[in-house]
Structure 1
Amino acid sequence: MATMTDSCRRALVEAIHSSPTQAVIYLSGGASQALGWLMSVPGASNTVLESVVTYSRMSMIQLLGKVPAQAASSQTAEEMALLAYNRALKLSKPGSPVLGVGFTGALASAQPKRGDHRFHVSTRTSDRFWTSTVTLTKGLRTREQEDGVSSQYLIKAIANASKVPGTFVPDLSESEVPDEYEKKFDEEEELKQLLSGIICFKVYPFSSDTSNVERKIILSGSFNPLHDGHLKLLEIATSICGGGYPCFELSAVNADKPPLEIPQINDRVKQFEKVGKTVIVSNQPYFYKKAELFPGSAFVIGADTVARLVHPKYYGNDYGKMLEILLGCKNTGCTFLVGGRNVNGTFKVLEDFDIPAELKDMFVPIPVEKFRMDISSTEI
């Protein structure tokens, strides 16, 4: 028979799964029961995009991309949460609130520990970083019990970050007072983080489309200004794909121009708000990098972009390098929908280009009778 704690915990997990938040969870050194609790309640796929347990030192080094100063520390938990947040952005459905969770612990072990038994939890959402450290009373619990209480605490932290109310309280003793730290961001701070590469993109889900599709149909450009041609093109591309989530993508960082200033980004984003269309602001000007950010997406491009994509000149005159990079795009599940376009005064379509055989199925033509991309290159 379930105890009150079990039923409260289950109710909290059900509430988490009913919320729109999608999460990536990175754990090390404890809270393992939390994953079981999350996964065993129906609806887990609504919430959990990915969970990784970095138990060995090498696993942690690979995740962080460096040797941590201290594995069980609030700094490491925060770094894990930020990595998880960026990963969640890439894996989530467009427009869903995303959450990155980092947990690292130093709990009771077979060999008695000299230091404190403690754990650190960090959560990152679009507008909030929250970190908490709990020092446990040594000798009060077994390893399994310490894992249990840290798991309870983690579930509560996920609920709080998902804005899920709940009366469930972890079984901490009176002396085990969490040391919490919170930092909130406004939109300007978030865009600063984007420009500096701390976060990989920001979604403005202005579209009223609430369909459950994961595949994005993306039209990238500078949108200075946005006009009807862009809107029509994305609409046609979405119909050619047989559906998907249409969104525009504005790179704040340009390959050959200075990055956009925050007021410029805001002005361009407002255009999409007016027409009720979702726009993603990223910091990647190159399509092979966009493919990593938006795996499985269909990108809408003009024939002039194809000319650059399949020309070794843009890869240091190295055909092999070009092929390797574009095969990398293909391996992410990305495709390119190509519209006819004037290139150096001549109207070109996909069929005019010599696409390497290995890449041909990655490119799909937009029939000329459906759309001609007679839009200047500065506008798309």
Structure 2
Amino acid sequence: MNDSITQHLIRQLHRSPWRLAAVVTGGGSEALSRLLSVPGASETVLEALIPYSSASLEDFLHYKPAHYCSRATAQAMAMRAFFRARDLEKRNSKHELDDTHLIGVGCSASLRSLRPKKGQHRVHIAVQTAQVSSLASLVLTKDSRDREREENVVAALLLNRIADVTGISDRIPMDLLPGERVDESSASAWPTWSELILGKRKVACAIKTEQDASLDSFSGVLFPGAFNPLHEGHQRMAELAEKITGHPVDFEISIENVDKPPLDFFDIQKRASQFAPAQRCWLTRAPTFLEKTKIFPEATFVVGADTIVRIAEPRYYNDSIEQRDAALEELRQQNCRFVVFPRVVKEHFLSLEDLTLPPMLAERCEAVSSSEFRMDISSTELRSGA
């Protein structure tokens, strides 16, 4: 790495209004060292974490990733880091909260170590702001550098990505070998998406042409889901729910989820693009149905049997039946209802009548029979190619 260019870039960053939280694993610690070694780091770095063991990374992410070194893992790390930066800055008494100049950085790498690696030496770096999601991936020529040189390449790539999103023009020359190429991409948010990420609005419309849509246009029937991907089973459920309720079905995607990482702008763009212009899709930060009802009171929710079972499970309420029942009572007071479709639950295709639910939840449900709907297709199977 060129020390003079690196230090000049970092000095510019330290003088800027940008503040960051960075999380690196498997490689990338050299970038953190460079950031901290240049005077003024306290004006930029809110937090720098190295969850090196798999258990530590899982604790940080709040879930176990399918692959520890991957683009998806780096994206999830960057989103967690961004929300962490926002929380830390909010609590920082020296500064007023400036949401628009916060950065979350995630670096997931697999580099040279004492024992030869079976797979490629590679790095994935994600940078998240309120306006942009940025990704860079690089496969290093195996066994062509020692660990120090690989760390220098990763540090240059990471610092250059930060410079890119912050508008700093300097770039650190990269020690790339013939055939090596950085794969870079970015996704920009629409203003309403940024406001949603920052908590300045409760809901935003996923469709570009519907950015000014208000909740006054909500149909009254809501189909929540990840829709990763949207498939014919979802579409058939929406068609039947419209016939049952007599109202069009609106879709909803929460960018935060109880069991999954937060969505970044790549994810949001990809999922929003699946819906036809006539299909209203709302974005929220409401991972639970209790939070959804506060945005969509008196909604009729379109759900599968697997989802209605989860709503009744105490583990989502700190393993407390009392807390669960209090939440179900609030759902009842909000006058929400559920149209429940048959789905696979623990390897069995079950309808509402096959389930044992708390009475105050069961009385809010209307069953769709297996004779009306029978599709075993799932988004998970489609993603895995099953």
TM-score by length of 2: 0.51
Q: Identical aligned pairs, as a percentage?
A: 31
The residue aligned with 2:113 is: 109
The residue aligned with 2:364 is: none
Q: CA offset at residue 155 of structure 1?
A: 1.2
CA change 1:191–1:259 in 2 (3 A) is: farther
Query: How many Å separate the matches in 2 of 1:114 and 1:255?
Result: 45
Alignment of 1:79-228 (within 5 A): 79-92=76-89, 93=95, 94-95=97-98, 97-193=101-197, 195=202, 196-198=254-256
Query: How many Å separate the matches in 2 of 1:182 and 1:21?
Result: 19
The residue aligned with 2:5 is: 8
Partner-residue secondary structure (3-state), 1:27? strand
Query: How many Å separate the matches in 2 of 1:170 and 1:16?
Result: 19
Query: How many Å separate the matches in 2 of 1:150 and 1:197?
Result: 29
Q: CA offset at residue 315 of structure 1?
A: 12
User: What 5-or-longer segments of structure 2 have no aligned partner?
Assistant: 90-94, 203-253, 257-261, 264-283, 298-322, 327-386
The residue aligned with 1:21 is: 18
Q: CA offset at residue 35 of structure 1?
A: 1.1
Confirm or deny that 1:49 pairs with 2:46. yes
Letter in 2 for 1:147: E
The residue aligned with 1:61 is: 58
Q: CA offset at residue 260 of structure 1?
A: 7.9
Partner-residue secondary structure (3-state), 2:118? coil
Q: CA offset at residue 173 of structure 1?
A: 2.3
Letter in 2 for 1:49: L
Letter in 1 for 2:84: R
- Aligned residues of 1:156 and 1:169 also touching (Cα < 8 A): no
The residue aligned with 1:358 is: none
Letter in 2 for 1:259: I
> What is the total number of aligned residue pairs between the two structures?
213
CA change 1:145–1:197 in 2 (3 A) is: same
Alignment of 1:295-310 (within 5 A): none
- Aligned residues of 2:22 and 2:105 also touching (Cα < 8 A): yes
Cα shift readout 1:265-308 (whole Å, capped 9, x = no counterpart): xxxxxxxxxxxxxxxxxxxxxxxxxxxxxxxxxxxxxxxxxxxx
CA change 1:176–1:110 in 2 (3 A) is: same
Q: CA offset at residue 257 of structure 1?
A: 6.7
CA change 1:256–1:73 in 2 (3 A) is: closer
- Aligned residues of 2:196 and 2:285 also touching (Cα < 8 A): no
- RMSD over aligned Cα, in angstroms? 2.9
User: What 5-or-longer segments of structure 1 have no aligned partner?
Assistant: 201-250, 262-313, 318-380
Cα shift readout 1:221-273 (whole Å, capped 9, x = no counterpart): xxxxxxxxxxxxxxxxxxxxxxxxxxxxxx99897974289xxxxxxxxxxxx
The residue aligned with 1:347 is: none
CA change 1:252–1:154 in 2 (3 A) is: closer
Q: CA offset at residue 23 of structure 1?
A: 0.2
**1:70 equivalent among 62, 67, 70:** 67
- Further displaced range: 138-147 or 101-110: 138-147
TM-score by length of 1: 0.51
Partner-residue secondary structure (3-state), 1:55? coil
Partner-residue secondary structure (3-state), 1:120? strand
CA change 1:26–1:255 in 2 (3 A) is: closer
Q: CA offset at residue 106 of structure 1?
A: 0.5
Letter in 2 for 1:59: S
